[in-house]
Amino acid sequence: MNHTPSGTTANSRTDFIRERVRADLAAGRFDGRVQTRFPPEPNGYLHIGHAKAICLNFAIAAEFDGICKLRFDDTNPETEEATFVEVIQDDIRWLGFEPAEVVFASDYFDQLADWAIDLIEAGLAYVDDQDAEAMSLNRGSFTQPGTDSPWRNRSVEENIDLFARMRDGEFAEGSRALRARIDMGHENMQMRDPVLYRIRHAHHYRTGDSWHVYPTYDWAHGQSDAIEGVTHSLCSLEFDSHRRLYDWCLEHLDLPGDKPEQTEFARLNLTHTMTSKRVLRTLVDGGLVDGWDDPRMPTLRGLKRRGYPPEAIRAFCSHIGVARVNGTHEIELLESFVRTHHNRHALRRMAVLKPLEVVIENWPEGQVVELDAINNPEDDSAGTRKVPFTGRLFIERDDFMIDPPKKFFRLAPGREVRLRAGFYITCIDHVTDETGEVVQLRCTYDPETRGGQAPDGRKVKATLHWVAAEHAVDADVILYGRLFTDSHPGADGTDPLDAVNPDSRQVLTGCKLEPMLADTPGGVVVQFERLGYFAHDLDDPGLWHRTVGLRDEWANIRKRRVKG
RNA sequence: UGGCCGGUAGUUCAAGUGGUUAGAACGUCGGACUUUGACUCCGGAUGUUGCAGGUUCGAGUCCUGCCCGGCCAGCCA
């Protein structure tokens, strides 16, 4: 398996964006500079989809010796909050990126308004007294050209005066708007005199009450890019039709230096996942998850609590690359990167999730042996640890069957297996309760097999994980399944919320952990041997989250058997 | 219905200006190894490159037509 993208340097890695950057550089554009930006609106939490954009923008800048700034696109006072400014910065740093600078579109409000006046003076913008409904009606349709507003030919003086009074808060919200004067018959709807400023008597989290007009995205974005010296403005596919307007705005302003260049790419979609803010908010508000940082959420905070390492997210984003086609990546691919990272870094520990008691009949009464166990076979420097072994242990319920089918080579009556880092044991009897369920195993051990090897060279087919009963630490462990049962929730036109998996989490109580795990700090991810990677909860020391399971051949065998 | 952008294994991406049997990853199947049924290693399978024509010695790459998908008619971004 090769998770390293084929080439990570600017010269070898190729996609249409990097090719364009290289071409621009070769043509001497932008004085050889490369500058990108990540422009979130501070109105919600970042999710895995944003991670792709973040990685792309920062990676391009880094590969071409450029810089990438974080810009808050805070032009809509009604939806934005200061708290998100903090949260978003934290998440970006957690992902592993440090913006060259943190800037705000709202810092450019004065400049943007000045430019709007320039446009008015050039006869390229006007104040329209139509309301939103009338404007919409007059915009025409895909096949019908729009009709000019009755206010389209006001004098420059009147427009200047009206716009000034809009800024002063003289007019009601929605009663007027400043529009670009382009072409109401344009084949591109974005060019049919788009709104540049709308009246909002709203409190802005940064500029307070000093503004009564706010620029639209189209008026703010390109100019913000230009002000900052952005060279390559990367955005998602749906802005494709806005590119002509982006260029139009910049072409009609007196800008120093080269105009930034907008390039669109496909946003990230994942199977069994939704990245729509509306859907995620509904999940949170409806109590279907525990909040924005629920480990089932595709938010960066959710993934963090779940135990997804930022390195894996970055490797994933780099691997999937960029395209101009909207597609949906399999979540298994992301999980594979998570496993690859943890396999190399996570310490191995033993934990029994569904305990079954084992009594070693020939174990010396009261004896405790401290065994040496390897911390990480992938990393010798991780060393070893001591694990206590006694005559009463817990093993996994699933590791024993009274009547084992073919290909089940764990413990069964009369069978011998190895306990990891411990001894060979043989099951000589089992105790069942009145319902027939196995409640205890009686076994013997071979003292000669300490450490896990038999001097006579005999082999066992299985190695089981275990925990000494008296030394075990109790904990709750949460197993997570897909948040949505459907691989493409809502794709068939149904409500994605209908596809929410009612069994997306399974809380296991009374799990038995090896004693060392009690001292693990929150947030740390370890491998519970033979089970998967598990993240210690950030706040609750008695709680673990399954990040992702190990690949499980036995599960595949069972699945195949069920199927047929 | 108009415009724009797309269509390459199950999935996501590769295939310098047209040039041998269209590659890789994940998934899947088989094998080796193994004190994790993990990891690692080896190997197999899956493609009418959306369809139909055309240009050419030669087309996934160029041309034409058609089909399918996405986006666009917020004073959201």
> Which nucleotide does the CA of A343 lie closest to, via C1'?
B39
Q: What is the mean pLDDT of residues A364-377?
A: 97
A7 in any annotated domain: no
Give pLDDT tens digits for A273-297. Answer: 999 998 999 999 999 999 999 999 9
Partners of A411 in beta bridges:
A400
Are residues A450 and A309 part of one domain?
Answer: no
Which residue carries 């929605």 as its tokens?
Answer: A174
Amino acid present at A255 = L
Same domain for A488 and A520, yes or no, is yes
Query: Is the domain of A313 the same as that of A405?
Result: no
Band of residue A4 on the pLDDT scale cut at 50, 70, 90: very low
> What is the rounded CA–CA span in Å between residue A308 and residue A94?
11
Q: Which two tokens stand for residue A462?
A: 């299985």
Q: How far is the CA of A171 from the C1' of B50 (A)?
A: 54
Secondary structure of A470-506 in the HEC alphabet?
A: CCCEEEEEEEECCCECCCCCCCCCCCHHHHECCCCEE
Q: How far is the CA of A380 from the C1' of B39 (A)?
A: 14
Among this protein's residues, is A139 annotated catalytic? no
Instruction: Give the pLDDT confidence of A284-330 residue by residue, as tens digits.
Output: 999 999 999 999 999 999 999 999 999 999 999 988 888 888 888 98
Q: Are A293 and A383 found together in one domain?
A: no
Which helix (H) or strand (E) element contains residue A35? strand A35-38
Mark whether A340 and A484 lie in a shared domain: yes
Q: Does A9 have pLDDT greater than 80? A: no
- Contact, A348 CB vs strand B, < 7 Å: yes
The answer as to whether A232 is a domain residue is no
Looking at the predicted structure, is the pLDDT value of residue A6 above 50?
no
Asked whether residue A241 is assigned to any structural domain, the reply reads: no
What does residue A272 show for φ and ψ, rounded to 5 degrees?
A: 60, 20
Residue A10, pLDDT above cutoff 80:
no
Residue A14 has pLDDT above 80, yes or no: no
> Which listed residue (A165, A267, A386, A450) is catalytic?
A267
**pLDDT tens digit string along A496-543?**
999 999 999 999 999 999 999 999 999 999 999 999 999 999 999 999
Q: Which nucleotide is nearest to A6 (CA to C1')?
A: B24
What domain count does chain A have? 3
Task: State both tokens at A518.
Answer: 């009690």
Q: Is A155 exposed, middle or buried (0-12, 13-18, 19+ CB in 10 A)?
A: exposed
SS3 content of chain A, % helix, strand, coil (to 5): 30, 25, 45
Query: Is the torsion defined by CA of A508, A513, A518, A522 positive or negative?
Result: negative
Q: Under 8 Å CB-to-CB from A416, ≥6 apart: which residues?
A: A424, A425, A426, A460
Last residue of a domain, one of A445, A465, A485: A465
The residues, any chain, with a CB within 8 Å of residue A161's CB and separated by 6 or more, are: none
A58 is a domain residue: no
Q: Using CB atoms within 10 A of its CB, is residue A252 exposed (0-12), middle (13-18) or buried (19+)?
A: middle
The Å distance, CA of A243 to C1' of B19, is: 37
Active site residue A277: yes
A149, two tokens: 């507003």
A281 and A298 belong to one structural domain: yes
- Do A492 and A343 lie in one domain? The reply is yes
Is A41 one of the catalytic residues?
A: yes
Strand B positions closer than 7 A to protein CB: 1-8, 10-15, 24-29, 35-41, 70-77
Nearest nucleotide by C1' position to the A321 CA atom: B13
A473, β-bridge pairs: A513
- In the 376-435 segment of chain A, residues within 7 Å (Cβ) of strand B are 376-378, 407-410, 418, 420-421
Regarding whether A356 and A326 lie in a shared domain, the answer is: no
A369 and A516 together in one domain: no
Averaged pLDDT score across all residues of chain A: 94
Tell whether the model's pLDDT for residue A5 goes beyond 90: no
Helix A217-228 × helix A243-251 angle, to 10°: 60
- Indicate whether A386 and A414 sit together in one domain: yes
Q: Yes or no: say if A517 and A526 are a contact pair by the CB < 8 Å rule.
A: yes
The DSSP secondary-structure symbol of A272 reads: T
Q: Kindly state whether residue A211 falls inside one of the protein's structural domains.
A: yes
DSSP string, A359-421: EETTS-TT--EEEEEES-TT-GGG-EEEEEE-SEEEEEGGGB-SSPPTT--SB-TT-EEEETT
pLDDT at A319: 87
The pLDDT tens digits of the residues spanning A402-435 come to: 999 988 999 999 999 999 999 999 999 999 999 9
Task: List the CATH number of the domain containing A302.
Answer: 1.10.1160.10
List of A residues 252-291 with CB within 7 A of strand B: 266
DSSP three-state, residue A58: helix
The distance (Å) linking the CA of A195 with the C1' of B74 is 10
User: Same domain, yes or no, for A134 and A276?
Assistant: no
For residue A155, give its domain range.
110-215
- Residue A126 sits in a domain of what CATH number? 3.90.800.10
Inform me whether the pLDDT recorded for A3 exceeds 60. no
| pLDDT category of residue A13 using cuts at 50, 70 and 90 | low
Same domain flag for A321 and A378: no
The model's pLDDT over A377-398, given as tens digits with 9 standing for 90+, comes to 999 999 999 999 999 999 999 9
CATH number of the domain that residue A430 is part of: 2.40.240.10
Boundary (domain end) residue, out of A465, A496, A527: A465
Of A465, A489, A511, at which residue does a domain stop? A465
* A235 lies in some domain: no
Q: Which residue has the tokens 């297996």?
A: A417
The secondary structure of residue A518, as a DSSP letter, is G
Residue A142 lies in a domain: yes
C-alpha to C-alpha distance for A269 and A189, rounded to whole angstroms: 27
**Residue A421 domain-assigned?**
yes
Q: Which nucleotide is nearest to A348 (CA to C1')?
A: B36
pLDDT one-digit tens code per residue, A89-138: 999 999 999 999 999 999 999 999 999 999 999 999 999 999 999 999 99
H/E stretch holding A510: strand A505-513
pLDDT, position A493 = 79
Where does residue A361 rank: exposed (0-12), middle (13-18), buried (19+ CB within 10 A)? exposed
- Cα(A25)–Cα(A37) distance, integer angstroms: 18
User: Which residue of the set A244, A277, A354, A397 is catalytic?
Assistant: A277
Q: How far is the CA of A275 from the C1' of B76 (A)?
A: 17
